[in-house]
Chain A
Amino acid sequence: MTPVEIGLWVTGGMLVLVVLGMRVAFAAALAGVVGLVWIFWEKKDYEAAEFAWALTVAVKTAGQVPHGKVASQALSLIPTFILIGYLAYYAGLTRALFEAAKRWVAWVPGGLAVSTVFATAGFAAVSGASVATAAVFARIAIPEMLAVGYDKRFAAGVVAAAGTLASLIPPSAILVIYAIIVEQDVGKLLLAGFIPGVFSAFVYTSLIVILALTIKGFGPPVTGFTWRQRFQSLPPALPIVAVVLIIIGFVYNPFGGDAWGTPTEGGAIGAFIVFLMAVFRGMRWPELKDALLETAKLSVMIFSIIWGVLIYVRFLGFADLPSAFSDWITSLDYSPMLILICILLAYAVLGMFMDAIGMLLLTLPVVYPAVMALNGGEFVSADDSAFGMNGTMCAIWFGILVVKMAEFCLITPPIGLNCFVVAGVRDDVSVQDVFRGVMPFFLADGVTIALLVAFPWIVLWLPSLAS
């Protein structure tokens, strides 16, 4: 059997385990270990005496991955951004934000759901992790929506979908990770995420309003707030704005001259300020302990998938599957745009079974060079390129597209991390409920992605001002 065939068999086996309900991280890792044993034994022509050798080498190779891959500065952003989310929650900042959004916009049809999207988009300017954002707003927004008679499935779906905004609107852990994998300018990528993020938020709210107008008893507008009450809701939400300004000021020094630090450090500084606010607002050890435990839990969930998937990816490396794929893509005789669309569709399928970061780590080393090659190479000028943009802009555009796809995968069944997290926070909501409720947003995301593909300037306008 050729290594590529072994690769396909093992992948099939992994899918069976996943369907049987084995925890995804461990199903991937187990498939990876078994695959490695198979590959090494095959190398010795399956001689019985060599099995022990193959097993040893496979296990030791897999045993490097958890420490080796997790000990990474790039991935250190994930716990930091999760921590920000929980600290802001315990500081009452997220609730204040939601309250303000509610008083100002909840009078529209589907008002509370629209408020949730706005509050989440605002919080996204502080938070860089979708799952943490979904977890925090599940606690705040869902009870309020249920109280005025929303369907619990839809209430949960709104939160799961809106959480994904945190990864487009800067700061964003996943955009930084993309930038590091493909070695592009982090600052420009973060900037590029802003308009698509806000754009996504508006597509979500439009969808909600349309649904509210067409479905009877969907979710009533919440009215009756006086202007006085509205303005009273603003001061408690101001600290979030302050944190946003501090992070932006930190990364793009407003006084001219050198910035004070990298976006990575900006995130940590933001977390620290939120921590100080939380302490000021009365957070003490019991609350801090809860925040730390929640941070640990969510971090471990995400990192288990990361190292589990990477053991499987290590096996794929030995099976030489990525280069087989790359050769295949570049040998295709279709138009570059068609191939790009197929790649995005492939992400949608792959994302059904994988978490966003695991998926990027798995695919980008193969797919990114292929896409750059499709456009005409790293140093191509806009005029000579297939997509009408130079190499740098293509890297930014593709980055935003991929991250949007990856975020889309956070809400698609069967493995949609945001949906699991929302169901985990709310005991009265099952995972199936969230998946049902989030379905309308597939349409919204489809529209957003199609527009970003068709009109790249939505993505590229802001970063092109910066260069």
Chain B
Amino acid sequence: MAGSSTVLSDDSTLSFLDRKLYRLERFFALIAGIFAFGLMVLAVVSVTGRNGFNEPLPGYVDWIETFMPLIAILGVSYVQRDGGHIRMDIVVGQLKGRVLWAVEFITTIGILILILALVWGSWAHFDRSFDMSRPMWSRDSTIDIGLPLWPAKLVVPVAFAVMSVRLVLQIWGYGRAFIRGDETPAAVPLVQSVAEQAAAEAEHIQGRD
């Protein structure tokens, strides 16, 4: 939501990498959005073809199923960067400073372990459907018009690989914040109260100018 993100930046290498990666993540999210739009266009084409020309879009369902992973998964890292994935912040909302960074550090490592496992697992899933020696490199196809499944399956490990890089940056960020005892570290999403505090400070500084 809210175009304004709660991730601060500074002149460190970490923050530089954060912003670079963010550009890639935004690009991925835009692709996801464009394919959501494409889904709608697909329906319009299919309905018009069917009712207007008795010529429904061949493999309409197959195309939808091919689009969906792009829409649903490609942006996973973009949302993680801004701290947009849903969580319960009743406990972390009460924490501050080093304790907070320690908890964030640990849970983010947990997520990294999961995502690395899923890179492996989803790559294996892709790999089973892919065979260079076959027509269209396909060893698994859709039900109706036999589209190869491997491109849609490949989306998942790619999205998760980017997500892993993002998680490494966030772990680095939380670790650095823990060591330095930062109040408002850069390159990690801040929980609401901390973000408010940062905004208030910025206002305070501006007021002195």
Contacts and interface: CB of A to CB of B under 8 A. Distances in A.
Interface stretch (A206-214, A222-230, A422-430): A422-430
B1 A297 contact: yes
Interface string A58-81: 011111101110111101100110
A66 B37 contact: no
A464 to B, nearest CB: 29
Interface in B163-209: 192-193, 195
Given A63-B120, A265-B47, A275-B40, A414 B88 contact: yes
Interface string A287-316: 001111111111111011111000000000
Given A79-B36, A295-B36, A431-B192, A67 B121 contact: no
B47, B79, B121, B152: most-surrounded residue (chain A CB, <10 A): B121
Given A59-B120, A296-B32, A71 B41 contact: no
A150 B162 CA distance: 43
A104 interface: no
B113 interface: yes
Contact of A299 (B1, B36, B46, B51): B36
A23 B57 CA distance: 39
Contact of A21 (B61, B66, B89, B121): B89
Interface residues of A, number: 78
B92 A20 contact: yes
Contact of A300 (B78, B118, B153, B155): B78
Contacts of A272: 40-41, 43-44
B90 interface: yes
Given A71-B65, A296-B30, A303 B88 contact: no
Interface stretch (A24-32, A330-338, A390-398): A24-32
A79 B75 contact: no
Contacts of B33: 289, 291-296
A70 B85 contact: no
A275 B42 CA distance: 14
Contacts of A60: 120-121, 124-125
B89 to A, nearest CB: 6
Contacts of A420: 86
Interface string A18-47: 111111111101100100000000000000
B40 A301 contact: no
A111 to B, nearest CB: 27
A415 B87 CA distance: 7
B136 interface: no
B107 A22 contact: yes
B40 A20 contact: no
Given A269-B43, A297-B29, A20 B36 contact: no
Nearest to B111: A26
B132 interface: no
Contacts of A30: 110-111, 113-114
A93 B193 CA distance: 33
B21 interface: no
Contacts of A68: 125
Given A21-B89, A299-B75, 13 more contacts: A29-B114, A29-B118, A63-B121, A73-B61, A260-B47, A268-B39, A269-B47, A289-B33, A293-B29, A300-B32, A303-B73, A415-B88, A432-B90
18 contacts: A18-B87, A21-B91, A64-B121, A67-B122, A76-B39, A260-B47, A290-B3, A292-B34, A293-B26, A293-B33, A297-B1, A299-B71, A300-B29, A300-B76, A300-B79, A421-B1, A430-B193, A432-B93
Give me the 9 closest cross-chain CB pairs, A-B, nearest first: A63-B121, A292-B33, A268-B43, A303-B72, A424-B1, A21-B92, A296-B32, A23-B85, A414-B88
